[in-house]
């Protein structure tokens, strides 16, 4: 199998594309950052790659709502190309703003005939929150989380609270293995704020589609691929690579 | 036709903005039993139908899961109706609508217009607004609430009546008419009146020089010529006070400076570079937008810290927002364009508990200022993706009318791109945002707004930034730089095109076609175009053969680029508007024509007064009080709102230790993801010492900034510093004298520490005048405030150290001399003590100590290291303990030659050049050997019981559990 190619999508205001491409390269992929303008002009660029990652930042300033404007472009103008991409068994990852973008499209299977099943909205604190969190995984077929039980990663967002349309919808998404990443308390107990940094019901930090190949998450795995990125690395002096690298390695391994 | 879409939280969702309003209203004396909020979008288009508007609302604007939309034509009662279920009784509910004033940047409108066009509705104009419904206030109280809590008069207006317009007023055009200003025959009083009323702010000698110049030419200046001279000669652009002639005396000596900054601070750097010879690592100092030093084989680092005080006093959010935006443009305009890597922000505020009814008229409450400033910096830095990694906040009642906002940024730039040289014949190209009336002093206008009446923009200097516009400019700029498409770049800061083109064309000459500038709206005069300070604009010097490629690079990034003129080798600045010449000035007049002014500076030291520290059996309460004092207390509320990890290079974060619960000394960032080399950012500021001795304040600030960097592992041989002087009115000889004394201390300290200043920026006239209750004029001057920002380097970030205690059983070493220096200390502050001596500095000895300590850190002998600053030894030990979740026991009788000092002096003195180090007991011999020849005392040990104990022999002076210490530190600013 040739080296998988990852396409890291950026738009005006995206600002995590360089370190995200770096993380894919560390994991063994070829990675290229590409502007939405270029992709809109030439959607066939997707045919040559295996992973599409929508990177974090403030696409179009998050004006109107986080990820909304880019999500609209993706939905209106890349619908066919992305359906083909997904149906070809390829992977789509949305990190932070990328998750917010995915949530404004139909790629996460988060809508039905009555409209969206869930959304990402303002943190309960009412503020932007930049802090490290503990996360645990829930059983799922999510490709990116294979083999991961618990992980620490940083979050940095103001609109990361995952809210489902109603309690029944949330329960059904949970039971369907569609909410595979959850905020957790360091001691294993119930994660109150700030362990759950945004107040998401059921402590949801990420969601995937029914196939497990499209995944969006609020935490930033690309910010923990080097041991010195962990906030307590001077206490442990561990040489192990950052745990976030595993998500990117899972993507590469999927095509191995 | 004018439509409105209002977005409300769904009835089953909380209305957080309303809750926050009720809380902040309550804190300032308003009882608001219930409130509701919505954000609104006004859509103007002749083509939209009701169904179209509904579709736009559903598809783009309203989040169907948590929000509820109301879409209707403006004037429809449905838009004014109080949201259901938020109020017990709708009868007494009032609606307040808040709109931006004409010409104020509305970044959301641009994205919204684009997104609506992509949905299939081109040509829709969008404006945003906010709506608030409140209960329980009569009309007067509602107006008062709107004035103090909802709308800032500098940028916003509000109304209590529902909107009724059916279109945005079309902007009026502009008919060209060349304006001249009559100078001939004006006497001195007339010249000064013109200077004041024209907002030129020039001094008499300067006005006389201009008058003489035009008399000789036999013509009067045009308005834009006069503006250009005023801008170029302004304090902001030319630093004429500090870089000018000063006659200084302080009782011991009299010095006459031709250029004060050059002969003090620059001189020290020049001397150090001379000493270093071939190993000089400074690249460009005091020349470009930022100072540049060498980083590694391929890249240099640049560093600049700007102040944005006056705009932040008027409109804290916009002032701080554009302060951050402006310093990022400084980085982007350094050399051929540097890439911003990380930011540092330092703020000075009046205490947030200042009673609301004690505020002079025209002063915003410090709490509101703090919120606005913090959010303004946050929204620019986070959005552009530049991590904010370092900072400080200082509180003093004298910052009431003049809060200080320092925004700094470090950039990375390849060696070969570090210098700019515009060439004759190059095109002058403007890139980025469009030009509007933003930031034009005193402009009055009416355009592009709802009402038909003219509005005057009261805060002409106030602007809102658009960070995404600037991120696009950055992306395009770096691509164009790497392809070699331009020969020079600079930012449009103060003075707009006037200063950017004037600066770049200084050695050549320039011809500018003002009518080519892209405008936000019609109606700007040629002068307004030339001096507008609209944000997010850069000016490039582009060889003609590269123009087409540059245009394509900009188009790929959705950035506008426009040819504005050409650098013509005439030595003159010529401005044209549709072919009409509106200005023709020699560059030499602009850059060398300003008459020198000699200023008097006098420094008289305050009469010495002893400070007697009270003798007590137990100082635990003093320690807790210092930990909870505002300058020392945790700034977590601010830190967590700033993305400090974007770009992926974070190594040492602002908060460190177990659960990130301790204050780090300096931040460490790895700017290149494929390299282990790190950069270190620290700062020093302590205006309290300045009240006793501005020289001691300067030396202490430099030492603290350097010490912070050394504490985390920076190489003391590679630390560069910046100065920011924020002072009062320097027309007063005593005020200027204090500044000169500080500058002289900067020179001496820089030489002693061998730490070069590479750039700086001053902000003078930070005084606020008002009439008190008796009608008497009162003036509050800020305390003389020097911020020193330090940028260090570390070969391999793996050698870095943090301040949290790591393991019980380790030895604790106090490094450095402790002296009786409680003057200006936090022990004095919380105890209400005055007098005493501010900390001094033996800079040569400090340099040696830092070099030795750096050697020990490099050998891996130091497990934790914390610099001693506010609160001295006791506070440093407490912070290290609670950050590490471990206890510590210290015996201050083991302080070597300082052991004879009174116990409170030993615990709380703020003597410089001291650090507390944790050392593994197996390494103590090697650590002591590394520090041989310097004060280095084994003073205690790390303990398992999580308790801090400080004793003097058998007598316990401090005993406290670490959670109690931490809580005292964490609670005061936990907002």
**Residue list for the binding site of B for substrate:** 329, 463, 763
Are the beta carbons of B543 and B477 closer than 8 angstroms? Answer: no
**Residue list for the binding site of B for Mg(2+):** 306, 330, 491
Phi then psi for B973, rounded to 5 degrees? Answer: -110, 30
Domain that holds residue A88: 5-254
Counted domains in chain A: 1
pLDDT per position as a tens digit, B587-622: 999 999 988 878 999 999 989 999 999 999 999 999
How many Cβ pairs closer than 8 A exist between chain A and B? 168
Which letter does DSSP use for residue B147 in this model?
A: I
Cα pseudo-dihedral B662, B667, B668, B672, rounded to 10: 130
Residue B308 a catalytic site member: yes
CATH code, A59? 3.40.50.880
pLDDT per position as a tens digit, B658-670: 999 999 999 999 9
From residue A135, how far is each of A207, A238, A244, A247 by CA, in Å?
Answer: 13, 20, 11, 13
Res B460: pLDDT: 52
- Hey, which residues 528-557 in chain B have their CB within 8 Å of chain A? 556-557
Residue A232 a catalytic site member: no
Mean per-residue pLDDT for B178-201?
A: 91
Length of chain A: 256
Are the beta carbons of B670 and B649 closer than 8 angstroms? Answer: yes
- Find the range with the poorest average confidence among B363-367, B397-401, B891-895: B363-367
CB within 8 Å: A156 and B645: yes
Contacts of A58 in chain B (CB under 8 A): 382-383, 385, 467-468
Going by C-beta distance under 8 Å and a sequence separation of 6 or more, which residues neighbour residue B594?
B206, B209, B233, B238, B240
Reported as type and span, the H/E element at residue B208 is helix B204-217
pLDDT per position as a tens digit, B548-558: 999 999 999 99
Three-class SS state of B570: coil
Q: Answer whether residue B448 shows pLDDT above 50.
A: no
Are the beta carbons of B732 and B715 closer than 8 angstroms? Answer: no
Cα–Cα distance for residue pair B904/B568, rounded to 1 Å: 68
Are the beta carbons of B322 and B479 closer than 8 angstroms? Answer: no
CB within 8 Å: B650 and A131: no
Of B501, B500, B499, the closest CA to residue B234 belongs to B499
Cα–Cα distance for residue pair B909/B868, rounded to 1 Å: 9
Res B459: pLDDT: 42
CB within 8 Å: B650 and A223: yes
From residue B469, how far is each of B117, B380, B432, B557 by CA, in Å?
Answer: 19, 11, 7, 10
Cα–Cα distance for residue pair B15/B37, rounded to 1 Å: 7
Of A54, A43, A74, A44, the closest CA to residue A8 belongs to A54
Reported as type and span, the H/E element at residue B19 is helix B16-27
CB proximity B12 to A under 8 Å: no
Are the beta carbons of B973 and B635 closer than 8 angstroms? Answer: yes
Cα–Cα distance for residue pair B648/A225, rounded to 1 Å: 9
Phi then psi for A111, rounded to 5 degrees? Answer: -155, 155
Q: What number is the ipTM of this complex?
A: 0.97
CB within 8 Å: A68 and B110: no
Are the beta carbons of A96 and A156 closer than 8 angstroms? Answer: yes
- For A195-236, the DSSP string reads TSSS--GGGEEEEE-TTS-EEEESS-GGG-SSGGGSTTHHHH
Contacts of A13 in chain B (CB under 8 A): 383, 467-468, 471-472
Are the beta carbons of A165 and B65 closer than 8 angstroms? Answer: yes
3-state helix, strand, coil split of chain A in percent (to 5) is 35, 25, 40
Q: State percent of chain B over pLDDT 70.
A: 97
Q: Which CB contacts under 8 angstroms, 24+ apart, belong to B455-461?
A: B455/B101, B455/B102, B455/B157, B457/B101, B457/B102, B457/B103, B457/B104, B458/B153, B458/B154, B459/B153, B459/B154, B459/B155, B459/B311, B459/B314, B459/B315, B461/B310, B461/B311, B461/B314, B461/B533
The conformational region for residue B66 under phi > 0 = left, psi -120 to 50 = alpha, else beta, is alpha
Distance from CA of B867 to the nearest CA of A (A): 17
Of B790, B786, B840, the closest CA to residue B816 belongs to B840
Three-class SS state of B560: coil
In chain B, CATH 3.30.1280.10 sits at 2-159
Cα–Cα distance for residue pair B372/B366, rounded to 1 Å: 10
CB within 8 Å: B558 and A128: no
CATH of B2-159, one of 3.30.1280.10, 3.30.420.40, 3.30.70.260, 3.40.640.10: 3.30.1280.10
Computed over every residue of chain B, the mean pLDDT equals 92
Are the beta carbons of B486 and B480 closer than 8 angstroms? Answer: yes
Which letter does DSSP use for residue B648 in this model?
A: S
Cα–Cα distance for residue pair A182/A176, rounded to 1 Å: 15
Contacts of B471 in chain A (CB under 8 A): 12-13, 15
pLDDT per position as a tens digit, B594-603: 888 789 999 9
Cα–Cα distance for residue pair A21/A32, rounded to 1 Å: 6
Mean per-residue pLDDT for B1-16?
A: 93
Which residue among A16, A96, A142, A208 is the active-site one? Answer: A96
Res B455: pLDDT: 32
Which candidate in B107, B379, B648 is best for mutational testing of the A interface (most A CBs within 10 A)? B648
Top CATH class of B192-251+422-596 equals: alpha beta
Residue B243: other Cβ atoms inside 10 A: 18
Res A1: pLDDT: 63
Report strand pairing: A214-217 vs A91-95.
parallel
* Closest Cβ opposite residue B468 in set A19, A58, A115: A58
- For B763-807, the DSSP string reads E---EEEEE-TTS-EEEEEPPPEEEEEEEEEES-GGG---SS---
**Residue list for the binding site of B:** 304, 306, 329-330, 463, 491, 723, 760, 763
DSSP H helical segments within chain A, as ranges? 17-26, 36-41, 68-77, 79-87, 97-103, 167-175, 233-236, 245-254
Res B461: pLDDT: 54
Q: Answer whether residue B810 shows pLDDT above 70.
A: yes
Cα–Cα distance for residue pair B402/B363, rounded to 1 Å: 9
Nearest CA in chain B to A238: B798
Mean per-residue pLDDT for B124-136?
A: 93
Contacts of A110 in chain B (CB under 8 A): none
Res B457: pLDDT: 34
Contacts of B634 in chain A (CB under 8 A): none
Phi then psi for B662, rounded to 5 degrees? Answer: -130, 155
pLDDT per position as a tens digit, A7-22: 999 999 999 999 999 9
pLDDT per position as a tens digit, A151-162: 999 999 999 999
Res B359: pLDDT: 87
Mean per-residue pLDDT for B912-931?
A: 98
Res B777: pLDDT: 87
Q: Answer whether residue A78 shows pLDDT above 70.
A: yes
- Hey, which residues 114-173 in chain B have their CB within 8 Å of chain A? 114-115, 118-119
Are the beta carbons of B493 and B331 closer than 8 angstroms? Answer: no
> How far, rounded to the nearest angstrom, does the alpha carbon of residue A84 sit from its chain's CA centroid?
20
How sure is the predictor about A230, in pLDDT bands with cuts at 50, 70 and 90?
very high
HEC readout, B50-81: HHHHHHHHHHHHCCCCCEEEEEEECCCHHHHC
Contacts of A56 in chain B (CB under 8 A): 646
Going by C-beta distance under 8 Å and a sequence separation of 6 or more, which residues neighbour residue A190?
none
Going by C-beta distance under 8 Å and a sequence separation of 6 or more, which residues neighbour residue B685?
B346, B348, B392, B394, B701, B704, B785, B786, B787, B788
Phi then psi for B42, rounded to 5 degrees? Answer: -100, 130
Residue B114: other Cβ atoms inside 10 A: 19
Which letter does DSSP use for residue B264 in this model?
A: I
Nearest CA in chain B to A115: B64
Where b means 16+ CB within 10 Å and e means fewer, B366-384 reads bbbbbbbbbbbbbbbbbbb
* Cis peptide upstream of residue B692 (ω within 30 degrees of 0): no
Cα–Cα distance for residue pair B650/B667, rounded to 1 Å: 8
pLDDT per position as a tens digit, B737-755: 999 999 999 999 999 999 9
How sure is the predictor about B120, in pLDDT bands with cuts at 50, 70 and 90?
very high
pLDDT per position as a tens digit, A153-205: 999 999 999 999 999 999 999 999 999 999 999 988 999 999 999 999 999 99
pTM: 0.95
Cα–Cα distance for residue pair B128/B163, rounded to 1 Å: 13
Distance from CA of A86 to the nearest CA of B (A): 23
Are the beta carbons of B487 and B347 closer than 8 angstroms? Answer: no
């Amino acid at each position: 199998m040739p080296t998988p190619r990852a396409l890291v999508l950026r738009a005006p205001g995206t600002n995590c594309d360089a370190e995200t491409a770096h993380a894919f390269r560390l994991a063994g992929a070829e990675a290229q950052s590409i502007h939405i303008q270029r992709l809109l002009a030439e959607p066939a660029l997707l045919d040559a790659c295996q992973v599409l990652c929508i990177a974090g930042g403030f696409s179009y300033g998050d004006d109107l709502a986080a990820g909304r404007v880019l999500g609209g472009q993706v939905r209106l103008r890349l619908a066919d190309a992305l359906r083909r991409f997904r149906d070809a068994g390829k992977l789509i990852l949305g990190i932070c703003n990328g998750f917010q973008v995915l949530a404004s499209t139909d790629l996460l299977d988060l809508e039905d005939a009555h409209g969206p099943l869930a959304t990402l909205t303002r943190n309960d604190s009412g503020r932007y929150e930049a802090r490290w969190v503990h996360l645990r995984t829930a059983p799922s077929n999510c490709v990116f989380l294979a083999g991961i039980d618990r992980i620490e990663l940083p979050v940095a967002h103001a609109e990361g609270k995952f809210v489902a349309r109603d309690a029944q919808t949330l329960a059904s998404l949970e039971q369907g293995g569609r909410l595979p990443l959850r905020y957790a308390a360091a001691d294993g107990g119930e994660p109150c704020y700030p362990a759950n940094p945004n107040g998401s019901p059921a402590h949801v930090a990420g969601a995937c589609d029914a196939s497990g190949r499209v995944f969006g998450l609020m935490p930033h795995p690309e910010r923990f691929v080097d041991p010195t990125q962990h906030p307590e690395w001077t206490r442990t002096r561990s040489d192990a690579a950052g745990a976030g690298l595993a998500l990117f390695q899972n993507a590469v391994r999927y095509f191995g | 036709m004018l439509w409105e879409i209002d977005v409300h939280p769904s009835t089953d969702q909380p209305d957080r903005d309303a809750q926050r309003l009720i809380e902040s209203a309550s804190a300032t004396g308003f009882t608001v039993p219930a409130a509701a909020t919505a954000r609104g979008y006004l859509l103007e288009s002749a083509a939209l139908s009701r169904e179209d508007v509904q579709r736009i609302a559903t598809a783009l604007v309203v989040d169907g899961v948590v929000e509820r939309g109301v879409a209707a034509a403006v004037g429809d009662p449905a838009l004014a109706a109080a949201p259901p279920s938020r109020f017990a009784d709708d009868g007494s509910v009032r609606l307040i609508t808040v709109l931006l004033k004409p010409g104020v940047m509305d970044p959301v409108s641009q994205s919204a217009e684009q997104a609506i066009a992509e949905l299939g509705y081109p040509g829709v104009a969008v404006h945003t607004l906010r709506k608030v419904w409140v209960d329980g206030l009569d009309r007067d109280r509602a107006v008062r609430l709107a004035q103090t809590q909802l709308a800032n008069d500098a940028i916003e207006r509000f109304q209590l009546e529902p909107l009724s317009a059916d279109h945005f007023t079309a902007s009026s055009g502009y008919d060209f008419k060349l304006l001249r200003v009559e100078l001939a025959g004006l006497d001195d009083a007339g010249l000064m009146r013109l200077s004041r009323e024209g907002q030129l702010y020039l001094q008499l000698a300067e006005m006389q020089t201009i008058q003489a110049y035009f008399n000789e030419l036999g013509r009067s200046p045009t308005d834009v010529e006069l503006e250009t001279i005023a801008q170029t000669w302004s304090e902001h652009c030319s630093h004429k006070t500090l870089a000018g002639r000063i006659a200084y005396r302080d009782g011991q000596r009299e010095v006459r400076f031709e250029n004060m900054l050059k002969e003090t601070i620059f001189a020290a750097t020049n001397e150090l570079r001379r000493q270093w010879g071939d190993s000089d690592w400074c690249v460009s100092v005091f020349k470009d937008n930022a100072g540049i030093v060498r980083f590694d084989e391929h890249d240099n680092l640049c560093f600049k810290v700007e102040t944005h005080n006056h705009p932040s006093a008027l409109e804290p959010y916009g002032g701080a927002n554009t302060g951050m935006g402006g310093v990022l443009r400084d980085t982007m305009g350094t050399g051929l364009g540097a890439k911003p890597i990380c930011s540092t922000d330092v703020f000075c505020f009046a205490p947030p508990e200042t009673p609301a009814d004690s505020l002079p008229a025209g002063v915003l409450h410090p709490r509101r200022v703090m919120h606005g400033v913090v959010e303004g910096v946050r929204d620019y830095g986070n959005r552009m993706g530049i991590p904010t990694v370092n900072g400080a906040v200082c509180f003093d009642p004298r910052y009431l009318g003049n809060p200080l906002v320092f925004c700094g940024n470090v950039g990375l730039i390849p060696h070969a791109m570090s210098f700019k040289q515009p060439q004759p014949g190059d095109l002058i190209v403007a890139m980025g945002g469009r030009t509007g009336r933003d930031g034009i002093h005193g402009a009055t206008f009416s355009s592009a707004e709802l009402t038909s009446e003219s509005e005057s923009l009261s805060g002409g200097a106030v602007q809102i930034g658009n960070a995404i516009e600037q991120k696009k400019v950055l992306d395009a700029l770096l691509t164009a730089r790497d392809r070699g498409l331009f020969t020079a770049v600079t930012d449009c800061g103060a003075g707009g095109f006037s200063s950017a083109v004037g600066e770049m064309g200084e050695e050549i000459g320039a011809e500018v076609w003002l009518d080519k500038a892209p405008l936000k709206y019609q109606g700007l005069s040629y002068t307004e175009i030339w001096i507008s300070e609209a944000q997010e604009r850069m000016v490039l010097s582009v060889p003609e053969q590269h123009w087409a490629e540059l245009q394509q690079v900009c188009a790929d990034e959705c950035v506008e680029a426009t040819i504005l003129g050409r650098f013509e080798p005439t030595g003159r600045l010529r401005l044209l508007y549709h072919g009409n010449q509106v200005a023709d000035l020699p560059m030499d007049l602009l850059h060398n024509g300003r008459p020198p002014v000699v200023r008097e500076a006098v420094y008289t030291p305050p009469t010495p007064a002893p400070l007697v520290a009270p003798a007590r059996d137990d100082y635990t309460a003093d320690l807790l009080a210092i930990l909870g004092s505002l300058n020392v207390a945790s700034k977590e509320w601010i830190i967590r709102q700033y993305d400090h990890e974007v770009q992926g290079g974070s190594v040492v974060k602002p908060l460190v230790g177990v659960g990130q619960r301790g204050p780090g000394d300096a931040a460490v960032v790895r700017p290149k993801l494929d390299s282990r080399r790190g950069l270190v950012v620290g700062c020093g500021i302590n205006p309290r010492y300045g009240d006793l001795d501005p020289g001691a304040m300067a030396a202490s600030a430099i030492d603290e900034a350097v010490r912070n960097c050394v504490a985390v592992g920076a190489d003391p041989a590679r630390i560069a510093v910046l100065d920011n002087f924020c002072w009062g009115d320097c027309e007063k000889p005593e005020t200027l004298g204090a500044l000169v004394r500080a500058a002289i201390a900067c020179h001496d300290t820089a030489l002693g520490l061998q730490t070069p200043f590479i750039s700086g920026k001053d902000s003078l006239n930070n005084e606020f005048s008002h009439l008190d209750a008796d009608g008497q004029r009162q003036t509050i001057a800020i305390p003389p405030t020097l911020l020193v920002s330090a940028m260090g380097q570390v070969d391999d970030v793996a050698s870095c150290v943090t301040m949290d205690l790591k393991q019980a059983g380790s030895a604790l070493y106090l490094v450095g001399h402790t002296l009786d220096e409680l003057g200006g200390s936090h022990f004095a502050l919380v105890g209400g003590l005055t007098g005493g001596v501010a900390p001094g500095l033996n800079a040569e000895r400090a340099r040696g100590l830092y070099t030795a300590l750096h050697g020990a850190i490099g050998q891996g002998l130091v497990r934790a290291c914390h610099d001693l600053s506010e609160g001295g030894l006791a506070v440093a030990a407490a912070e290290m303990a609670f950050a590490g979740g471990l206890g510590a026991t210290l015996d201050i009788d083991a302080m070597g030659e300082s052991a004879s000092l009174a116990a409170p002096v030993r615990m709380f003195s703020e003597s410089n050049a001291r650090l507390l180090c944790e050392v593994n007991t197996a390494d103590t011999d090697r650590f002591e050997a590394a520090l041989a020849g310097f004060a280095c005392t084994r003073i205690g040990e790390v303990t398992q019981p999580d308790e801090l104990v400080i004793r003097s022999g058998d007598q316990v002076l401090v005993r406290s559990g670490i959670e109690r210490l931490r809580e005292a530190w964490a609670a005061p600013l936990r907002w």
